[in-house]
Amino acid sequence: MRLVKPSPAGLHAPANDPWQAVCRALLIGLLCLLGLVAGTARAADAPAGATPATTGLSNARDYVIGPGDVLRINVYQNTDLTLETRVSESGTISYPLLGSVKLGGLSIAQAERTIAEGLLKGNYLRNPQVNVMLMQVRGNQASVLGMVNRPGRYPIEVTGLRMSELLATAGGVAPGGSDIVTLTGMRSGKQVRYSLDIGKLLTSGTLDQDPVILNGDTLYVDRMPLVYIYGQVQRPGSVRLERGMTVMQALASGGGLTLRGTEKNIKVNRRNADGKVKEYDAALTDPLVDGDVIFVRESLF
């Protein structure tokens, strides 16, 4: 059988022309290869772990504008609408052409859309392109006090900021600081106070011990709890009170008893709830509390 090549002039070949079948197969293979390359490129451009349901969603931790924040607003090719302004206590700003605009409680992206929609609906601009920059954070701040490396007031630059993140921003707990921190603030219009265990947070990983920080919260780190040893011990003085520490463990931290010391008739002086100090006979296995004073007597024999 003689094969007939298609003519250069583009004449139609017979329906059973083998060259036409070969060209069609090559064309289909080329289209499939191009589709595979394009799909690979799109997959490479997508963020790791992104899915169609999550790609393109806004960040849930975007900063929320608050009273006192300083914003710089730019409108592309409209210098008359560019200004730097401070958000009032009511959460509003005064903006040219629009007057009072409510931005408090909005994210930066939402504030940009609010101003752009106002300019568009007022027929001031056909296609307003608005950019809002946060210059100073004054409306959302929390305080960190006590035994931390850098005490002070810190801006809450993202929503959902956790206690552990705020503590890290302040440099962490300073030497001599306690593992228990106190968080005070307002929740649902009521004053609240939480005592949080940093050690438990790090070991358990539960969010119950790592609450979200809100505007006006105060985080306080107290000094580490201490017990005091004196009498017939090698190193009298203060000892850090560890969790569940007993009299025996405290004495061991103090270097143990001297040659004259005795384990009998060990006394513990403890301050009661009414503020009075009372002396107790202590066994070596008795637990200690913050502020206890241990006295080791001298052996008579």
Domain positions in the chain: 1-7+16-48, 70-136, 141-223, 226-296
pLDDT at 89 (0 to 100) = 87
pLDDT at 217 (0 to 100) = 94
pLDDT at 30 (0 to 100) = 52
Q: Using one digit for the tens of pLDDT, what is the confidence trace for 35-54?
A: 444 444 443 333 333 333 32
Residue 267: phi and psi, rounded to 5, are -110, 145
- CATH number corresponding to 141-223: 3.10.560.10
pLDDT at 210 (0 to 100) = 85
Closest by CA to 73, choosing from 63, 64, 86, 60, is 86
Closest by CA to 88, choosing from 113, 75, 70, is 70
pLDDT at 24 (0 to 100) = 61
pLDDT at 66 (0 to 100) = 86
Contact at 8 Å (CB) between 228 and 247? Answer: no
| Look-up of token digits 């200690």 | 288
pLDDT at 44 (0 to 100) = 39
Domains 70-136 and 141-223 share a fold: no
pLDDT at 111 (0 to 100) = 94
Per DSSP bridges, beta strands 293-296 and 267-271 are antiparallel
Q: In 107-202, where do the E strands start and end?
A: 130-136, 141-146, 152-155, 177-187, 190-197
Contact at 8 Å (CB) between 128 and 73? Answer: no
pLDDT at 287 (0 to 100) = 94
pLDDT at 136 (0 to 100) = 84
pTM reported for the whole predicted model: 0.60
Q: How far apart are CA 7 and CA 152, in angstroms?
A: 85
- Tokens encoding 261: 């010391």
pLDDT at 23 (0 to 100) = 55
pLDDT at 224 (0 to 100) = 92
The list of the chain residues with pLDDT below 70 reads 1-61, 205-207, 301
226-296: what CATH class?
alpha beta
Contact at 8 Å (CB) between 182 and 194? Answer: yes
Quote the DSSP letter at residue 107.
Answer: B
pLDDT at 27 (0 to 100) = 56
Q: Which fold has domain 70-136?
A: wza like fold (3.30.1950)
Q: In what order do the strands lie in the sheet with 277-281?
A: 237-240, 226-231, 293-296, 267-271, 277-281
